[in-house]
Amino acid sequence: GFCSSNSIYYSKRKPLPLPPNPSLDVTTFISSRAHHGTTAFIDSSTGHHLTFPHLWLSVHSVASSLSSMGIRKGDVILLLSPNSIYFPVVCLSVMSLGAIITTTNPLNTSTEIAKQIKDSNPVLAFATSQLLPKITAASPNLPIILIEEEEEQERNKPKQPRVVDTLHNMMTKREPSVNRVKQQVNQDDTATLLYSSGTTGPSKGVVSSHRNLISMVQIVIGRFEKEELQTFICTVPMFHIYGLVAFATGLLASGSTIVVLSKFEMHDMLSSIERFRATYLPLVPPILVAMVNNAEAIKGKYDLSSLHSVLSGGAPLSKEVIEGFVEKYPKVTILQGYGLTESTGVGASTDSLEESRRYGTAGLLSPGTEAKIVEPESGEALPVNKTGELWLRGPTIMKGYFSNEEATASTLDSEGWLRTGDVCYIDNDGFIFIVDRLKELIKYKGYQVPPAELEALLLTHPAILDAAVIPYPDKEAGQVPMAYVVRKPGSNLSESQVMDFVAKQVAPYKRIRRVTFTSSVPKNPSGKILRKDLIKLATSK
């Protein structure tokens, strides 16, 4: 059975044996896989595209240029860009050298980017011209490679002192491969450094290896092996693990075509489905909510007949939304994916109409992934249908947090189990149901908002004595950040002043959207904020 006597749950899916060669990078793993695809990427607004041969030539050329510039295995390279057909070119080139890619949300402020730069210590950055000022403000001396928009490529732009080259130039140089002093890359080497707050505290660098990513590529394409080639719409962000493992790596190995939208916009998304006859649409729950609420207008205006699957991942999807979606779009199969940055993507998923008929399930464990449901107080591993914290183990689990032994030790145990901070149960058939979140994390439209960051910021306000930030349920966004604030004696600080203070200093998705003043923040004897008490208080009114 899938559940052993010691209450370890095994994946019911067919295992996908890892390539045995220890020296293999994820880029080579993807590019050497045979498939029948022709077009890899299409930019939905300009129509510019990359065929598979052009993609791999470009990746090779950029890698050679990077190598000539002195980029070596282990160097960290920052990428600041909205979704584009060039985003994967940068990631794949960097990883092919054994260098490490660190991505960041383009909405982040230069202060937030500066923090990530300080922590990850990149030697080089790739950025679009629009986002370049954020990097120069965050780190004035960091060398930059400009990702030009197509229409900028010919234009004579004022030369920025920190710009050492352009991606367009590097893609077309076709440097002879002898220039490339390629060092051996091992599956154990680090490939990506994405930022996540995990179960507690501020954002930390999640160290994922080539092995982690190769396993994830196998998991992603394993779902499509028996099907025709798909056309995907990419509107979820590529800087986030969800977009990265699907659109910058995994799906390329299947020969699928990916239509790239630079950001989410409902009309662009729907008209792209129609224009490119897209079959598959990976989303976050808030977009499904909007599709349900506007179903009549949408169906009157767009031909969505090509679409057969919508995948929802990254945050909980309520039963009402699933039922609403099934009713309004009866021809579209709604699938779910569950995972974490720390699990390098999908830890569980539903892969077929039949599996997703168990409304609300996050699906079956990914191939090769094991789980335990752990009673948080006693540490006891629980049998089926009992609720506890989900622990995951397997080939996609991160190596740890970057230069942070303490956070690593409290998240990964000596046997390799990852504490997810999610409260779940597993039913008799092996389906996982996520019922709550134990960790601090707030998810606003699928984006991570670490409460600890906002609390630290609130405490810098001269009129604030203490503060706690919690998730507050929201129909559209899933959750919004809400603050409990203790004012200093005599202060008449208002709710909107608190919200403005934070809004000026953080990316828009991190803004505090509700404030309640209180006389004290409830804490346990060791000073930890009793978040569950505050959440209960906030939602009981």
* Positions in the binding site for ligand AYL (CB under 6 A): 196, 241-242, 245, 313-316, 336-341, 345-346, 362, 420-422, 434, 437, 443, 448
Residue closest to 440 by CA, chosen among 426, 425, 450, 429: 450
* Distance (Å) of CA 479 to CA 111, 317, 469: 24, 12, 12
Is the C-alpha dihedral spanning 253, 256, 261, 265 positive or negative?
A: negative
Nearer to ligand AYL, 98 or 481 (CB): 481
Tokens of 130: 């629009």
Judged by DSSP in three states, 268 sits in helix
Cα–Cα distance measured from residue 119 to residue 135, given in angstroms and rounded to the nearest whole number = 15
Nearer to ligand AYL, 284 or 458 (CB): 284
Q: How far is the CB of 296 from ligand AYL (least distance, A)?
A: 27
Q: How far is the CB of 203 from ligand AYL (least distance, A)?
A: 10
HEC profile for 415-427? CCCEEEEEEEEEC
Nearer to ligand AYL, 254 or 448 (CB): 448
Nearer to ligand AYL, 79 or 432 (CB): 432
Q: How far is the CB of 338 from ligand AYL (least distance, A)?
A: 4
Q: How far is the CB of 267 from ligand AYL (least distance, A)?
A: 24
Nearer to ligand AYL, 221 or 434 (CB): 434
Residue closest to 367 by CA, chosen among 345, 387, 347, 339: 347
* Distance (Å) of CA 204 to CA 196, 401, 405, 448, 508: 5, 6, 11, 12, 20
Q: What are the two backbone dihedrals, phi and then psi, of residue 530, each rounded to the nearest 5 degrees? A: -85, 80
Q: How far is the CB of 216 from ligand AYL (least distance, A)?
A: 9
Nearer to ligand AYL, 162 or 443 (CB): 443
- Dihedral of the CA atoms 131, 267, 250, 363 (nearest 10)? 120
Q: How far is the CB of 315 from ligand AYL (least distance, A)?
A: 5
| Structural contact between residues 449 and 443, judged by C-beta atoms closer than 8 angstroms | yes
Query: At which residue do the structure tokens 């707030």 appear?
Result: 442
Q: How far is the CB of 374 from ligand AYL (least distance, A)?
A: 15
The secondary structure of residue 270, as a DSSP letter, is H
The secondary structure of residue 253, as a DSSP letter, is G
Q: How far is the CB of 236 from ligand AYL (least distance, A)?
A: 9
Cα–Cα distance measured from residue 94 to residue 169, given in angstroms and rounded to the nearest whole number = 16
**Residue 387 neighbours by CB distance under 10 Å:** 15
Nearer to ligand AYL, 105 or 262 (CB): 105
**Parallel, antiparallel, or unpaired for β 388-393 and 418-426?**
antiparallel
Nearer to ligand AYL, 195 or 276 (CB): 195
The secondary structure of residue 344, as a DSSP letter, is T
Nearer to ligand AYL, 67 or 349 (CB): 349
Q: How far is the CB of 484 from ligand AYL (least distance, A)?
A: 22
**Parallel, antiparallel, or unpaired for β 49-51 and 76-80?**
unpaired
Nearer to ligand AYL, 124 or 434 (CB): 434
Q: How far is the CB of 149 from ligand AYL (least distance, A)?
A: 28
Identity at 291, one-letter amino acid code? M
